[in-house]
């Protein structure tokens, strides 16, 4: 029996190519941007460069100023002070329609009484684009996003994922230089969220547009971004690639928000150079001396260090081995949780009463399982232990 492998029709490839040609990303720069709502400081003195053609996620908890930042870029909120550039152009005085950005909203904001085709057409009609061009552009974007067969349906006759794609089509059809996405995946269930996340990333790579997305979900930011901007109380705490933020958080807030890090607060007692930079000693109440790597820190200052829960070793030893390259402490297992690929083990440090988390692959755990209630030693290399200045 032979199987016909269906090639996409040549017209489809032409349309994709045509759309690729008509889209391009611009960089976005914020210079000392501040936003006040009366006495509320929503965004405080933000300076940020988002490269053209990159995927940037603004990540942070509720109320940290992510949406306000996105809305200022779109022009839906006036800036209290500072400057905003899209490409080389200072856009502070420009209304949203003149900025060549498009927004995808959390709720999709589709018109319920209009068909998919009319929803996608709406922005072009408002811009008074000629009918012939509108037909061509709407058909093109619907086809590229796999929505042509749904063109005559109303939004209520679509799944959540399809509605999301219509919202994207409606934004892309206007050929923006910057696409702004406000929690675009939050209305989808977990499986669809992961699938749609991959589609968004592919789309951004294919069309090399600038995507700026607001999210409070760390996994979403890690999987999508070229650049993550971690925000806390109206300010930027850290900007970097997902890998740099995951491996080297600069603050307790980032360490807590972006991963299962164990954090220890204390006082700096000593700083000495080694091959990896500086080794900093912290005196941690109840635990004694912990050593970590970081920049120079002044003895006497309050600071902290963190260790990722998957970078520790768990051993059944009453007395921690003395090794100057490792930190160690003793703790008792309080809970073992099987979560699939990973097993999470919570332990209580008896000296302080604090909880500490250890994570390991389930296959490794099953070769050496320990029991709740057992007294253990946790060790970790000082090179994996990160200094946090604030």
Ligand X SMILES: Nc1ncnc2c1ncn2[C@@H]1O[C@H](COP(=O)(O)OP(=O)(O)OP(=O)(O)O)[C@@H](O)[C@H]1O
Residue 60: which residues within 8 A CB-CB, separation 6 or more?
66, 216, 230, 231, 232, 257
Segment interacting with ligand X (CB under 6 A) among 56-64, 89-97, 319-327, 359-367: 56-64
Q: Which is nearer to ligand X, 59 or 173 (CB)?
A: 59
Segment interacting with ligand X (CB under 6 A) among 64-72, 149-157, 240-248, 355-363: 64-72
In the chain, what's the furthest Cα-to-Cα distance? 79
Q: Which is nearer to ligand X, 62 or 191 (CB)?
A: 62
Q: Does 154 bind ligand X (CB under 6 A)?
A: no
Q: Which is nearer to ligand X, 66 or 99 (CB)?
A: 66
Rounded to whole angstroms, the Cα distance separating 384 from 165 reads 41
Q: Does 42 bind ligand X (CB under 6 A)?
A: yes
Q: Which is nearer to ligand X, 32 or 325 (CB)?
A: 32
Q: Does 184 bind ligand X (CB under 6 A)?
A: no
Q: Does 96 bind ligand X (CB under 6 A)?
A: no
Q: What is the 3-state secondary structure (H, E, C) of the chain?
A: CCCCCCCCCHHHHHHHHHHHHHCCCCCEEEEEEEEEECCEEEEEEEEEEECCCCEEEEECCCCCCHHHHHHHHHCCCCCCEEEEEECCEECCCCCHHHCCEEEECCCCCCCCCCCHHHHHHHHHHHCCCCHHHHHHHHHHHHHHCCCHHHCCCCHHHCCHHHHHHHHHHHHHCCCCCEEEEECCCCCCCHHHHHHHHHHHHHHHHHHCCEEEEEECCHHHHHHHCCEEEEEECCEEEEEECHHHHHHCCCCHHHHHHHCCEEEEEEEEEEEEEECCEEEEEEEECCCEEEEEEECCCCCCCEEEEEEECCCCEEECCCCCCCCCCEEEEEEEEEEEEECCCEEEEEEECCCCCCEEEEEEEHHHHHHCCCCCCCEEEEEEECCCCEEECC
Among 3, 7, 62, 339, contact with ligand X (rule: CB under 6 A): 62
Q: Which is nearer to ligand X, 106 or 223 (CB)?
A: 106
Q: Which two tokens stand for residue 310?
A: 């998957």
Considering only residues 211 through 230, tell me which ones interact with ligand X, judged by CB under 6 A. 216
Segment interacting with ligand X (CB under 6 A) among 11-19, 58-66, 259-267, 349-357: 58-66
Q: Does 67 bind ligand X (CB under 6 A)?
A: yes
C-alpha angle 85/91/95, rounded to 5°? 145
Place of tokens 């909203």: 105
Q: Which is nearer to ligand X, 68 or 328 (CB)?
A: 68
Q: Does 66 bind ligand X (CB under 6 A)?
A: yes
Q: How many residues bind ligand X (CB under 6 A)?
A: 12
- Residue 39 Cβ vs ligand X, minimum distance, rounded to whole Å: 9
Segment interacting with ligand X (CB under 6 A) among 46-54, 61-69, 166-174, 257-265: 61-69
Among 9, 20, 32, 40, contact with ligand X (rule: CB under 6 A): 40
Within 13 A of 306's CA, how many CA atoms are on the CB side?
A: 26
Among 53, 65, 75, 123, contact with ligand X (rule: CB under 6 A): 65
Q: Does 78 bind ligand X (CB under 6 A)?
A: no
Q: Which is nearer to ligand X, 64 or 138 (CB)?
A: 64
Q: Does 37 bind ligand X (CB under 6 A)?
A: yes
Q: Does 293 bind ligand X (CB under 6 A)?
A: no
Q: Which is nearer to ligand X, 63 or 320 (CB)?
A: 63
Q: Does 68 bind ligand X (CB under 6 A)?
A: yes
Segment interacting with ligand X (CB under 6 A) among 37-45, 46-54, 150-158, 250-258: 37-45
Q: Does 233 bind ligand X (CB under 6 A)?
A: no
Place of tokens 């927004």: 103
Q: Which is nearer to ligand X, 77 or 384 (CB)?
A: 77
Q: Does 63 bind ligand X (CB under 6 A)?
A: yes
- Residue 237 Cβ vs ligand X, minimum distance, rounded to whole Å: 13
Question: Which positions lie near ligand X, rule CB under 6 A?
Answer: 37, 40, 42, 60, 62-68, 216
């Amino acid at each position: 029996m032979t199987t016909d492998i269906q090639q996409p029709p040549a017209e489809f490839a032409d349309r994709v190519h045509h759309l690729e040609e008509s889209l391009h990303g611009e960089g976005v720069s914020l210079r000392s941007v501040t936003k006040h709502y009366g006495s509320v400081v929503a965004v405080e003195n933000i300076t940020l460069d988002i490269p053209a053609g990159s995927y940037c996620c603004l990540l942070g908890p509720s109320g940290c100023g992510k949406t306000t930042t996105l809305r200022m870029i779109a022009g839906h909120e006036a800036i209290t002070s500072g400057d905003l550039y899209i490409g080389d152009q200072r856009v502070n005085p420009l209304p949203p329609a003149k900025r060549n950005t498009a927004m995808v909203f959390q709720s999709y904001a589709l018109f319920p009484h209009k068909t998919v085709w009319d929803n996608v057409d709406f922005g072009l009609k408002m811009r008074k684009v000629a009918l012939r061009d509108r037909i061509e552009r709407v058909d093109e974007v619907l086809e590229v996003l796999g929505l042509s067969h749904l063109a005559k349906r109303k939004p209520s006759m679509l799944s959540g994922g399809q509605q999301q794609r219509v919202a994207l089509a409606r934004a892309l059809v206007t050929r923006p230089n910057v696409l702004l996405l406000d929690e675009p995946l939050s209305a989808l269930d977990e499986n669809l969220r992961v699938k749609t996340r991959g589609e968004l990333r592919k789309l951004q790579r294919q069309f090399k547009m600038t995507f700026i997305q607001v999210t409070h979900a760390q996994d979403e930011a890690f999987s999508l971004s070229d650049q993550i901007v971690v925000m806390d109380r109206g300010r930027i705490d850290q900007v970097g690639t997902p890998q740099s933020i995951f491996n080297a958080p600069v603050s307790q807030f980032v360490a807590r928000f972006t991963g299962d890090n164990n954090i220890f607060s204390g006082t700096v007692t000593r700083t000495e150079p080694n091959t990896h930079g500086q080794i900093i000693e912290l005196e941690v109440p109840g635990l004694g001396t912990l050593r970590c790597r970081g920049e120079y820190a002044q003895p006497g200052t309050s600071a902290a260090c963190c260790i990722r829960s998957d970078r520790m070793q768990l051993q059944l030893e009453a007395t921690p081995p003395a090794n100057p390259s490792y930190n160690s402490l003793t703790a008792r297992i309080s809970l073992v949780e099987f979560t699939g690929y990973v097993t999470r083990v919570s332990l209580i440090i008896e000296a302080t009463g604090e909880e500490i988390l250890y994570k390991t692959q389930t296959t490794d755990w099953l070769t050496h399982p320990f029991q709740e209630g057992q007294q253990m030693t946790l060790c970790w290399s000082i090179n994996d232990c990160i200094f946090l200045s604030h």
